Amino acid sequence: MKSHALVFLGAPGAGKGTQAHKVAEAFGIPHISTGEILRQAVASGSALGQAAKEKMEAGELVPDEVMCRIVADRIGQADCAKGFILDGFPRTVAQARFLDGLLDQGGQPLQVLNLQVKPELLMKRLRGRRTCPVCGTTYNLELNPPARNSVCDRDGARLIARADDNEEAIRHRLAAYERDTSPLIDYYKRRGVLHSVDGNRDPEAIAQELVRFLRDA
């Protein structure tokens, strides 16, 4: 794979984080999750975290200016020179335009991977999602449960649900996706950089398909 900027598109629960993690490992490039950057900022109590907390917990988008600054800083770092993966950015047309500007400056070609998942499955994945606070392993109480109730198979830590994986926040997040993010599918289709895959399948099979596709890209 050439030195690409990769963007994962898809609704909340489509598997962007899981796939981005696998593809990043396969190619040895950084996986940049804007949601994760924000969650760490909230946990540390920084000014960014304090500003973002309320919006995140309500399932609403953090303002474009804030997100664009975070991404510009991160992809300007040396480890991104050989390519990188964005998971959760861009989420609006304004963010996509900003990213175009950054990539034009850096001369890096863009490839957008769109994970298509049935709405029923999205709900199931989000409602049952639990994460290990120690090692970051993700489970699903229904689809991929841990061996022992609510504790991590690897280190025995008690699993936690994300603050925004509750019914009401999930509804807002899906609405924000439909309203603000889904127009990016057409935006990138028109540029000829969109590659859509069936995200309803086993995560390992999807990752293999993506890695094969990117090796030739």
Among 16, 22, 39, 53, the one annotated catalytic: 16
69 is catalytic: no
In whole angstroms, how close is the CB of 100 to ligand AMP at the nearest point?
A: 15
Residues lying near ligand AMP in the complex (CB under 6 A): 12, 34-35, 38, 55-56, 59-62, 67, 88-89, 91, 95, 164, 173
129 is catalytic: yes
127 is catalytic: no
Among 22, 39, 91, 130, the one annotated catalytic: 91
Instruction: Give dist(CA 94, CA 96) in Å, integer.
Output: 5
Sheet holding 194-198, edge to edge: 31-33, 84-87, 5-9, 110-116, 194-198
Query: Which residue lies nearer to ligand AMP by CB, 15 or 88?
Result: 88
142 membership: H or E segment, kind and range: none
The beta strands (E) that lie in the chain are given as 5-9, 31-33, 84-87, 110-116, 129-131, 138-140, 194-198
Query: Which residue lies nearer to ligand AMP by CB, 98 or 210?
Result: 98
91 is catalytic: yes
Longest dimension (CA), the chain: 50
In whole angstroms, how close is the CB of 215 to ligand AMP at the nearest point?
A: 26
Give catalytic residue positions: 16, 91, 129, 162, 173
